[in-house]
Structure formats: structure tokens, C-alpha cells
Amino acid sequence: MGTSTEFRSTTRHMLKESKEYASQTLMGGLSGFESPIGLDRRDRIRALRTGDIGFVHSWDINTSVDGPGTRMTVFMSGCPLRCLYCQNPDTWKMRDGKPVTLDAMVKKIERYKDLFTATKGGITFSGGESMMQAKFVSRVFHAAKEMGVHTCLDTSGFLNKDYTDEMIEDIDLCLLDVKSGDEETYRKVTGGTLAPTIEFGKRLAKAGKRIWVRFVLVPGLTSSEENVENVARICEQFKDSVDHIDVLPFHQLGRAKWHELRLPYPLEDQKGPDKEMRKRVKEQFESHGFVVY
């Protein structure tokens, strides 16, 4: 009997105990994550909705990049935005990721628990856009919190409504991308709307969560004094939840991926900000009382 007839539902029993599943897992592309390949499209959709599986692009272990301490950063597949300066266009489509089971992800966190404890690190979900798979991410976070592991969500906040107040409870830190301070620029940069980001930041602040704001500084695109002032005013709405603002200078490191995917790169000739511009933007944010990196 073929594998498509073996998997008629994505119950926990079948995912964990099916002999067919046990003998057909992908090991290597995601360095040890189990990835069910016997599920048909209908079953995968069901498992995605319940959070039994998540579509993952890749993962790595890093230090002080995606949150405090040594972290396991998981890059989820799928993103609703199309940022002009995106470094990872290969994460845009969820179907390009590999399905990973909830149990496999939790076991991976357990493996590194002692390291996280020793370095005051934890797990970070990034992307793509991690909130596109809110059920999976939130269930992993809940399991991590039960283990005493620090959790961090890296997001644009654009899918604010997909993340419930209950899900927010299991977030310790959010790396919140405030990509612009006005709607027109935000739409030009991302193709989306700014309001959901602001609303998500407010919800995080109300729940007492910590926020590290990220702002990409692109000369001629996001760099105007007015836009920076607007970003600062948005961050003020998050009150004392903002630990600091990371001003990230635009660079061309993502261009090669666009070329590899045969996508026209919209910022092909764009230069990064000079020292004077970086200093001015840093001082603008500092004038609002923020710590700036």
C-alpha cells in the first residue's frame, strides 16, 4: 500500500507510531529534524492548521544575533510581504520549506536546553514571516516555556490578527521590524500596510513583553528625517517595553539570492548609508529617549 493511503489523518498517534512514517523521514537537509514525507496535501494542510507540523526553511545556532545568549534560530517558510531589501527571498513560499513535526522541534530544543541555560539563550523563530505559521510556532513556544527556555519571535507584526493574546503569553522577547513610519513608504518598501505592526507592538506592551525594534536604514527610501521621526513616535506607543532600537544599515548581501532565483532585484544599484546619515538617525532616536544600536 502506498504512503498516501497510509496517512489519512494527522493524529498524534499516526505521526508518532506509524511504521511507515518511522521509516520515511528526511534527515540531513534540516540537520536531524524529522520531516514526514508520507502526508498528502490535504493531511499537511490539516496538520499545519493544528500546529502538528510547520514548514521550515532552515535553522542555525548563533550568539547574540537573534536575541540574548546562544540561540537556536529557526527560519520558517512563507511570507506575505515582499520587502525590496529582503535578504531571504527563498523563504517567501511556504511550499518551498520542509514539513517538520512539532515533536521533532521540541526534541531539538530539549537537546540544547543546557546550552541555553548556561548562556541565557533560547529559541528564536524567524523567517520568512514566523506568524504565518502561528499555531506551530506558539505550540513550540509553549513547550519551550514549560522547559524553562527563553522564547523570541522575530516578526514584522503584519499578521497581528493571527496571533492571539493567549499565544503572546509564551513570548519573552519580540524582535519587531518597524519598516517605516508612514503608510506610503511602508507600502512602497513591503507591499503591505503599517497599522498591524503598530497594533501588535501595543499588544506586546500591554502584555508586558520585551521588544527590540529593528529599522532598516535605506538612503532615499526609509532615511528621511520625517520618516525616522514617525518611526520613533510609533516606538513611543510601545512605552517602556522597548529595550533598544537596532538601526540596520542597508547592504547588498541578499542580492545574490535574488539573482539565483532569477528575480529582478529592485535595489540593484542602491548604496548603504554613510557614517553621517547613520549618526543623524541614531541621534534622532536617542532624542526620544531610546537606546540605539
Tally Cβ neighbours within 10 Å of residue 23: 9
What residue ranges define each of the domains in the chain, with the CATH number in brackets?
Answer: 54-286 (3.20.20.70)
Report d(CA 216, CA 71) in Å as an integer. Answer: 22
Torsion of Cα atoms, 179 then 184 then 190 then 195, to 10°: 60
Q: Which residue in the block uniquely carries the three cell numbers 531539538?
A: 108
- Over residues 144-167, the pLDDT tens digits come to 999 999 999 999 999 999 999 999
Q: pLDDT class for 37, splitting at 50, 70, 90?
A: low
pLDDT per residue as tens digits for the range 78-115: 999 999 999 999 999 998 999 999 999 999 999 999 99
pLDDT at 43: 77
Bridge partners for 151 per DSSP: 123
What average pLDDT does this structure show over 216-222?
A: 98
Of 9-18, 39-48, 80-89, 265-274, which range is least confident?
9-18
| Residue 30 pLDDT | 56
Which uninterrupted H or E stretch holds 62?
strand 53-63
Give percent of the chain above pLDDT 90: 80
**What is the DSSP secondary structure assignment for residue 25, as one 8-state letter?**
B
Outline where DSSP puts E strands in 159-276.
Answer: 173-177, 210-217, 242-249
- Checking if the pLDDT of 137 tops 60, the result is yes
Which one has a higher pLDDT value, 228 or 65?
228
This prediction's pTM: 0.86
Measured between its terminal Cα atoms, the distance across the chain in Å is 58
